[in-house]
Amino acid sequence: MKHIQCKVFGHDYRITRNVTYHVKEYTCKNCKKQLTTNGNGSLIELSPKFKEINDVLERIHNKRKEKSKEKIVFNDLLVFRH
């Protein structure tokens, strides 16, 4: 019954995971179909291969985000040299 609603009205995608600023994972509210964005920015089905790619991208993105936060903190400090 849930699939009939998607066939008639179309899917109702919700963002389930923000991988990076540009890459996200989506899930249909009704039929639970999962999609993600590819390198061109278009939506494709979330296969195990793309799930693994998104995991690696998220890990790299979070590491870079943490490094940039550290740099901001150190830029506010005064450095005295003798």
With a cut of 80, say whether residue 73 has pLDDT above it: no
Mean confidence (pLDDT) of the chain: 86
- pLDDT tens-place string over residues 28-54: 998 999 999 998 989 999 999 999 999
| Residues 12-22: tens digit of each pLDDT | 999 999 999 99
Report whether 49 contacts 59 (CB < 8 A): no
Q: Which helix (H) or strand (E) holds 37?
A: strand 34-37
- Cut 0.95: pTM above it: no
**What was the pLDDT predicted at 80?**
64
Side-chain-side CA neighbours of residue 50 (13 Å):
16
Query: Which pLDDT score is estimated for 6?
Result: 87
Nearest to 23 by CA among 42, 10, 9, 49: 42
Cβ proximity of 10 and 34 under 8 Å: no
